[in-house]
Amino acid sequence: MTADSPLISVIMPAYNCDKYIHKAISSILFQTEGNFELLITDDGSTDKTIKIINSFTDKRIVLRKNKKNIGNLRTINKLLKSCKGKYIALQDADDWSSKNRLSIQLETLENNPSIDLCGTNCIKFYSQNIQITSNYPLSSTELIKSIEQGRTSLFCGASVLFRRTALLSIGTYQECFDRIGSADIDWHLRLLEKHLAINIEEPLYYYRQLQNSYSNSGNESSIKRNSTNIAYALHLLRKSGQRETSTLKQETFRIAVTEKTEGAHPSTIDKVVMELFNLAANSKTNNKVAAFIFKLALSTLQTATVQHYINTKRRKSAEKIKHKLIIK
């Protein structure tokens, strides 16, 4: 291995994880496959995270620091853009990998040139006494079938190893999911629209479900609670031949980050409602897709806002949509 041409780039975003990051880093450094670079970006930690990272002297570690906290999504995107390896692996700073994870995944992709991403099952730790082994779809056929059935939990997100060419094909995480969750689900769906993927049945990744993690928060807005459905809605739109408009990608669903939905200014939310309604009403969208998106709009946004939209100058368009869709 040379510094300029590692076979694998392992990326690790880190933020206030001093209790766990030593184990995460060690689990990568002691992999049976050693041809890698470990790229770590600290996102403005205020605990001992950086001190612990600096305690390692392995030259395969490359540490960068964000000048201020920019969030997990943007940190991952920065890391992805800096990768030099032929393959890219994710590793969360509060989890750990089995010592043969990378070698098994690498061998799988090397022996199957048509496959561009390889995930693994994982063991999820909810507490010291509660752990569950995942059961993700294994073959590419099973993955596609699962999507068609509406399933979006397809991979243990941080367990994946994928070809850098796949990243160049579909791009990094979409920033419209910044701080609302499901950016990895959206990325997986976009990848599977163009590339083949599989999961290894053996659990090779160990995932901590921390009590203060985003997924356990009970205070998130309705937009955050629906982020997975939003990712799936965008997938349905792409499959029906539509592209996300700039308004949808840049404005939709981001309002929850800076202000509560109930108190958001009508003109701001109106952009969201108008975008969803117009996409649902598009003649190219089949009724099943349109109904899903319309229901998503109603569950995500307050009823008063929907009524406000209907009472605007776009009344005719809104009434047309209501007439077109049968909401059961």
Helix axes 287-300, 303-310, angle to 10 degrees: 120
> Residue 2: inside a domain, yes or no?
no
Which helix (H) or strand (E) covers residue 25, if one does?
helix 21-29
CA 185 to chain centroid: 4
Residuewise pLDDT in 10s, the chain (328 residues) = 455 789 999 999 999 999 999 999 999 999 999 999 999 999 999 999 999 999 999 999 999 999 999 999 999 999 999 999 999 999 999 999 999 999 999 999 999 999 999 999 999 998 777 899 999 999 999 999 999 888 999 999 999 999 999 999 999 998 877 887 889 999 999 999 999 999 999 999 999 987 544 344 444 555 666 778 778 877 877 777 655 544 444 444 443 333 334 444 444 444 544 565 566 555 455 556 666 665 665 555 544 455 555 455 445 555 554 454 433 3
Is-contact 256 225, C-beta < 8 A?
Answer: no
Identify any residues that bridge with 41 across adjacent strands, giving them in sequence order: 13, 64
Query: Quick check: is 136 in a domain?
Result: yes
Answer whether residue 181 is part of any domain: yes
For residue 143, which of 18, 235, 249 has the smallest C-alpha distance? Answer: 235
* 76: in domain: yes
Quote the pTM value. Answer: 0.79
193: containing domain? 8-216
Would 1 be classed as within a structural domain? no
- Residues 195 and 107 grouped into a single domain: yes
176 within some domain = yes
**In this structure, are 275 and 205 located in the same domain?**
no
Count of the separate structural domains present in the chain:
2
Alpha helices in 89-226 (DSSP H): 101-111, 140-148, 164-170, 183-192, 222-225
Indicate the SS3 state at residue 36: strand
Q: Is 162 exposed, middle or buried (0-12, 13-18, 19+ CB in 10 A)?
A: buried
Last residue of a domain, one of 181, 199, 216: 216
